[in-house]
Amino acid sequence: MVRNEKGQSLVETALVLPILLLLIVGIIDFGRVLYFYSHLQLATQETARLGGLGKTDIEITDFARDYIDIGDPAQLSITITPNQASRTSGDYVTVNLEFPVTLITPIISSLVPNPVRIHADSTIRVE
């Protein structure tokens, strides 16, 4: 007796395809978050370098907003400690940058807080 197996591969594809697509989009989301983090870390180091050179808080903030190329610069949260009035030569200045990343994977975005807040900080000595 010969079995009719027409449509078997279609059923298997229908069962596996959603899982495969979810995995691929999840990998893309993870890559986006990793790219945003590395870009934000580099921006934080460059911004802290300006603070070490004695620039004002406004110059540091403007540089950070201009340097960020991963989304809307208005969403970038910038914290500089200590502030410009209390920084002296030999002190350390710390720059904290925080940026929201919206996930695109449907199931993962419902499991973790969306948008994901990416945080990077850097400290340098004021010359």
The per-residue pLDDT for range 49-62, each reduced to its tens digit, is: 998 888 889 999 99
Residues 6+ apart with CB under 8 A from 36: 70, 71, 99, 101, 118
Confidence of residue 63 (pLDDT cuts 50, 70, 90): very high
Please give the pLDDT value at position 58. Answer: 92
User: Can you say how many angstroms the Cα of residue 63 is from the centroid of all Cα atoms in its chain?
Assistant: 18
**Banded model confidence at residue 44, pLDDT cuts 50, 70, 90:** very high
d(CA 115, CA 36): 13
pLDDT of residue 72: 85
pLDDT band per the 50, 70, 90 thresholds, residue 1 = low
